[in-house]
A and B are shown apart, each in its own frame.
Chain A
Amino acid sequence: MKYFTRLRVKRIYEWRGDPLGFNRKLKTLEYGSLAIRVEGLPQTTIIKTGQHILIEGDDNDNPYVARVVRLFADESGEQMKAVVQWFVRVSEVPPSKLKLLGRDPHPQEIFFYEGRNCDDEVDAESILRPVQVKHLDTAAPFPESEDKETLYVKLSWDSRNFRDVDSSLVESAPPRPPNPSLPPSPPRCPPAATPASRGPGRRALPTPDPAVMRRAALGDVRYSRGTASAGKATTEAESLHSVTKLSSSKCLSAKRRNATERTPGVRKKLQLCSPDETAVLREDVLNRLLEEELESAGAQAQRLASSPPRSPILTHSLTPLRRTNRNLSSDHSIHLNPSAISCRNQSLSEADSPPSPAGDDSSSPQPGEELEAHLLNGAAETPRRRRRETPRGNYATRKETRTTTPSRRKEAQPGKEPVLAVLAEEENEGSPTLPVAATRSSKRKSALMVSSRIKKQLNLLDVQEDLNSDDDDEFIPSKKELQSSSEEEEEDEDVEEEEEEENGPGSDDEVVAKKSRRSSSSAGSRTPRSKQKTCSSARTPRKTPRKTTPSTPRTPRHATPSIPSRSQPARRPANVLEEARTRLHVSSVPESLPCREQEFQDIYSFVESKIMDGTGGCMYISGVPGTGKTATVHEVMRCLQHAADVEEIPAFRFCEINGMKMTDPHQAYVQILQELTGQKATADHAAALLEKRFSNPAPRKETTVLLVDELDLLWTRKQNVMYNLFDWPTRRHARLVVLTIANTMDLPERIMINRVASRLNRIAQHSSALLRQVAALSGDARRCLDICRRATEICEHSAADLSAAGLVGMSHVMEALNEMFSSAYITAIKCASTQEQLFLRAVIAEFRRLGLEEATFQQVFVQHQALCRVEGLQPVSVSEGLAVCQRLGACRLLLLEPSRLGVLQRVRLNVSQDDVLFALKAD
């Protein structure tokens, strides 16, 4: 999986400086700051206490937000830990609770977390990078800003309520002042300007708070090119990393934004002016480039010179991006404070170039490229310098940049001239309209062009936007991309920049197409997880123009499932019997579940212990229908929820699926995902997302209690659904409790193959609650209730006759019971016509004659004729006889072969011979 690749390969965590102190009690070494460095790269991110950071969670795009309280290592210094104060994102708050907010949450809003059930100690290695967090007054509006990087805190959240939060809690200065030894660095753009974040589309805001600014600046160091350029010549890996991230996150943010737009027209317009499509374009190109990874490796210089073909695209895509950055930088110039600390520390080639603004750089690839320029490409040097200066100067307006760029381009061009023709062609081929996946999988120009055209067409015609929520895949950077070597990355960026201005306007229409296509795709998935989703999802050929055939239209977005409400209110129960009937209805929830105390206790303690321990487990509950399995579990959940509400146990999430309420076992994933996160996905996709969710060592997760009703219906040939359901709870970090319900006691043994069964046994051995049949006649409580209800009705009827308020007596119950359990066969036979009765007798006579339980109609008919004669009836014709036989067959008193066999069809009795004879004799 790409996700892991990215993680594992890249980061190295180190303490900076000596431990500040040693905590004897805990045997921990306290540190003041932590350096995060990506292997082989010079740039380093510094994490200090008091800083806001992003922590890796189960969601790539929405990493957890927290503030570092303490940094420490255990005695050996091997285990790096951090104690943090958590913040929750909007997406982490259960959708049901969001209502408490009383307004629409801002996408960049986070909440100061006051819940208790969350481990505040995290592995330092799960820290991603710093982030800017800003406190706002509750009443203050959210700043309108392009900056998607900054997060805002207004309220705190304790898993039950929102409260106002004190700004000091949020933005309190770090315990120690910044290291004074660090030399002042040039003013920077706030880090937020970087779209290169993992969090989708956060942007920096102008903020006057120096502390925050500093932190932010620091935070983004890791991603900044500036530091790298100032530092080493080996920024490649990291830059690639950031770029891919950048692009994907950008694309995500774009998606997100798109999703908020309702009308396609508006969306389109917005996209036109939004800088985001560049990301995608870039990504496309990147992908293409990455394909050539091997060829390109090690031949940087040459390629730089010889590979301009790719450049147009890249530059083009970059333009808008830079524009934003510039805007931002100009906005913030005043507040920028010198803080290229980390770069300083690590940079080797600093003497040559002063540290460039980290914040700004992070968003743009200049630094790396600059380096490159220094090393390899003399021609390109000048423009780069100039550009580098621009952000540093902080006065750069868009205009200025515009003016600078052409010159740069001019300069750059001579070196690339020879290949310009190729360039054009390549642009066509790899151009922005093509989804990454497509680009990757097929290089055939024609195919690509066709597909791009199809997509364009589609966008023009298709107003229904969410035809294809699943083609998010297209925007996902591939694995290859992630692994690809840095050289390319640098090149890409070079090229990008140079081409940017040249082709910007030229490829407009493609961009538009791309945009609108994206809008169509993004509309379906507006969740912030889409990126992650896509990474993990199978890369099945979604890019094939499946969407061109709008097979089944999706449910219209605005449709809300609801039944119209009554024009007149329902009548209240008027008398005792009606009241009783209401209570006796199966739907009414009883205050207690008699005879289920033991089971209740078992389940309750099981789930409670799991929630308390923060571990996972699964339980299998079986019992015949109507014995109260589901009711008991629901009761348990109600009690637990209550306990959680009064803070006896940590908060948890309850989610329920029912095997009978889905069309296919794999829909289980979709439903679970939807319940947990509210997002929609295809089955495969959902499976992958859940897999990720439950297998990730996410440091802070509520326990999820999953109730799987009618488990046996989730059986599939490969049993993967069941396997997963039983496997997830065993994962170390899953914190998942699975309660499964089915009717058969031996379900695990009977239908689960070993690997599934073993999963269950391992966990469930120690607790398995079996609900047993209670009553002798029928343990089905539902039926019992129905009988009682019917008895009240009967009572009402008879009472109405006597005009007395009746009590429901045993006689009524017996009557109801008889009504429900008496077999209709005998009555039916009694009520049958004479010929039908005769025919039944003939059947029995023939059976006796043959000594078999089966005869053909012809044989029976002979008997029938004889009986008719005996009874003094006129013999019936064959046609009539057949009709009689068919009627009996329709009632299922007889079982018949298809009627086209005529007299040859075989006849069987569906009732016992005794019953038939009894019914006939009673006449």
Chain B
Amino acid sequence: MGVLTCAAAITYKPLQRVFFRQPIRGDLQSKAEVVISDSAELPRKSRHFHHNTFRFFHTIMSKRKAKDAHLPIGECINQVHQILRKRFCHQQLPDKPEGLEAQHKHLVELLKRTAVHGESNSVLIVGPRGAGKTMLLRSVLRDLSEETEVQKNLLQVHLNGLLQTDDRIALKEITRQLHLENVVGDRVFGSFAENLGFLLDALKKGDRSSSRPVLFVLDEFDLFAHHKNQTLLYNLFDVSQSAQAPLAVVGLTCRLDVLELLEKRVKSRFSHRQIHLLSTLTFSHYLDRVRAQLSLPDGFPDGKFVEEWNAAVTTLCEDKSVVEVLQRHYNSSKDFRSLHMLLMLCLSRVSVAKPAITPADLLDASRLCVADAKANMLHGLSILELCLIIAMKHLNDVYEGEPFNLQMVHNEFKKFLQRKSSSLYNFEQPVIMKAFEHLQQLELIRPADSSSAKTQREYQLMRLMLDHGQIMEALQKYPQCPTDIKQWAMSAFA
């Protein structure tokens, strides 16, 4: 009951405001509507115009203190979408890396020493996916770039293990990004050996005090360790350990065992500096972060809207069901990417008609997020296919997960038909076959091993890629599932 009133209150407030404004705006309303409807980006001039008009009306018509300009509700929502989407899609760096301050400081100092003093360094940033490795690095670089001394000196090379899949490509990319002299336009000249020699010569010629420091960022660092002989890593680390051009090598990886991947000589040359990003976030902090993520910044044009929105967010985060949902997410994973997914689903339901996130939105979104993919697929199967799946499940139960083939499944199905089917009749073999193939295409079943590919289809051994629970869940939700089939699924010997 409490939930309901609360939700109503949230929705009610802004609406009221709209109604209140309507008579004041008068004929201007229609103009504002036009502007909003056509666009993602409001022309600045017209916005100003509205601001001014509104301010004017406000001062005259209402006794309320007009501390800020007010935007039409549609535009506010539009802005909310823009701001939050940027945040959720990781296009905007947070002002400061929350929870990673120590690491941030460490990295800033390290890179600053390279940039300013010309000291070579190497470091690995290790943390699970979504822990904020790239975010940390980017914010460090952003902070560094504010210092002119760093900005003018530091050369940057960004590589990604998924893109530079071998040293040949990586070398070309490095040369290209460094704009060495064997680059013409975007083309790098020379063979692999020449490129390597060229780069090494270049680095060798440099020295600590006179040449510009180079920052190498190796994303997916572990993949570089799979290159032949780890030539690139060896050379980068070797340069960073000798009196050549100053170099900072920053590797990003999510593998905790990354050092074990390094060849002993490469390992010896690595400085063994690792920055671990492991979140020790508690649930209350997590809740705070959620609130912070949803809140609008102070810079938002319409002060009143911000106030209302933020208040709504706070109430939302205090809602019991919402907390439950968030707890569940927190239990599952602490990283913010999955949270952003959830919040994004909620955000997409915010509209002019419903200008706030309701707990119901969050529940729905959560349901979508945790829904089982395979079970959902089962809903789209025909009755026959479902029956085959059930037969397979029984076979699995009986033979303890041993693989089966079409004939076995068909026999099981026939047994069921003979015993107690009232709604279903036997199907032709080809029909069964077709259904079976369809299941294979959906990857609900897969061949037990590749060697059996030559055998006749009917006898090819298969495995079921579904869990018990998934099948039962799907059956529960299957629209108009005959009861005898449900019963059959429940007990094998019924």
Contacts and interface: CB of A to CB of B under 8 A. Distances in A.
Contacts of A625: 264-265, 267-269
Interface in A553-595: 553-556, 558-571, 573, 578, 581-582, 585-589
B128 A578 contact: no
A561 B198 contact: yes
Contacts of B246: 570
B268 A559 contact: no
B488 interface: no
Interface in B443-469: 443, 446, 463, 465-467, 469
B257 A892 contact: yes
Contacts of B155: 563-564
A879 B182 contact: no
A831 B278 contact: yes
A740 interface: no
Nearest to B195: A555
Contact of B119 (A569, A581, A824, A874): A581
A825 B372 contact: no
A786 B273 contact: yes
A662 B332 contact: no
Nearest to B206: A563
A463 interface: no
B181 interface: yes
Q: Chain B: interface residue count, which band?
A: 35 or more
Interface in A253-269: none
B8 to A, nearest CB: 28
Contact of B333 (A568, A589, A790, A835): A835
Nearest to B194: A555
A564 B198 contact: no
A565 B210 contact: yes
B190 A552 contact: yes
Contacts of A835: 331-333
Interface in B186-233: 187, 189-203, 205-206, 208-214, 229, 231
B375 to A, nearest CB: 7
Interface stretch (A282-290, A801-809, A880-888): A880-888
A713 B229 contact: yes
Interface stretch (B25-33, B46-54, B235-243): B235-243
B274 interface: yes
B198 to A, nearest CB: 5
Contacts of B202: 561-563
B374 A833 contact: no
Interface string A665-683: 0010011000000000000
B345 to A, nearest CB: 16
Contacts of A865: 469
Nearest to A781: B268
A404 interface: no
Contact of A563 (B128, B191, B211): B211
Interface stretch (A172-180, A349-357, A902-910): A902-910
B131 to A, nearest CB: 9
Interface in A816-870: 819-820, 824-825, 827-828, 830-831, 833-836, 858, 861, 865
B310 interface: no
A892 B222 CA distance: 11
A661 B117 contact: no
B309 interface: no
Contacts of B181: 556, 558-562
Nearest to B369: A880
A904 B465 contact: yes
Contacts of B443: 902
A887 B128 contact: yes
A782 B269 contact: yes
A553 B190 contact: yes
Contacts of B192: 663
A877 interface: yes
Given A556-B182, A570-B117, A880-B370, A892 B255 contact: yes
Contact of A568 (B149, B273, B328): B149
Contacts of A564: 155, 211-212
**Residue from A555, A581, A827 having most chain B Cβ neighbours under 10 A:** A555
Interface in A117-176: none
B358 interface: no
A660 B234 contact: yes
B72 interface: no
A397 to B, nearest CB: 49
A587 B189 contact: no
Nearest to A744: B264
A570 B213 CA distance: 10
Contact of A670 (B116, B193, B267): B193
A878 B374 contact: yes
Contacts of B152: 566-568
A557 to B, nearest CB: 10
Contacts of A552: 189-191
Max count, chain B CB within 10 A of own CB: residue among A566, A571, A713: A566
Given A555-B190, A587-B244, A879-B371, A824 B274 contact: yes
A890 B205 CA distance: 40
Contact of A566 (B153, B190, B467): B153
A249 to B, nearest CB: 30
B272 interface: yes
Interface string B127-163: 0110000000000000000000100110100000000
Residue from the set B119, B126, B243 with the largest chain A CB neighbour count within 10 Å? B119
A918 to B, nearest CB: 16
B268 A626 contact: yes
Contacts of A563: 155, 178, 202-203, 205-206, 211-212, 214, 245
B331 A790 contact: no
A581 B118 CA distance: 12
B334 interface: yes
B22 interface: no
B388 interface: no
B181 to A, nearest CB: 4
A902 B465 contact: yes
B57 to A, nearest CB: 52
B331 A562 contact: no
Interface in A621-637: 624-626
Contacts of A887: 128-129, 333
Contacts of B209: 566, 569-570
Nearest to A553: B189
A586 B239 CA distance: 10
16 contacts: A555-B182, A563-B155, A582-B117, A663-B192, A786-B271, A820-B273, A824-B274, A833-B334, A876-B332, A878-B372, A879-B374, A883-B332, A884-B333, A890-B129, A892-B255, A904-B446
Interface of B: 109, 113, 116-120, 126, 128-129, 149, 152-153, 155, 167, 178, 180-182, 184, 187, 189-203, 205-206, 208-214, 229, 231, 234-235, 238, 241-246, 254-257, 264-265, 267-269, 271-274, 276, 278-280, 328, 330-334, 370-375, 401, 443, 446, 463, 465-467, 469-470
Given A559-B180, A560-B181, A563-B214, 15 more contacts: A556-B189, A559-B182, A562-B206, A563-B155, A566-B209, A569-B209, A578-B117, A626-B268, A660-B234, A820-B273, A824-B256, A828-B278, A833-B334, A879-B374, A904-B446
Interface of A: 552-556, 558-571, 573, 578, 581-582, 585-589, 624-626, 660-664, 667, 670-671, 710, 713, 743, 780, 782-783, 786-787, 789-790, 793, 819-820, 824-825, 827-828, 830-831, 833-836, 858, 861, 865, 873-874, 876-880, 883-884, 887, 890-893, 901-904, 910
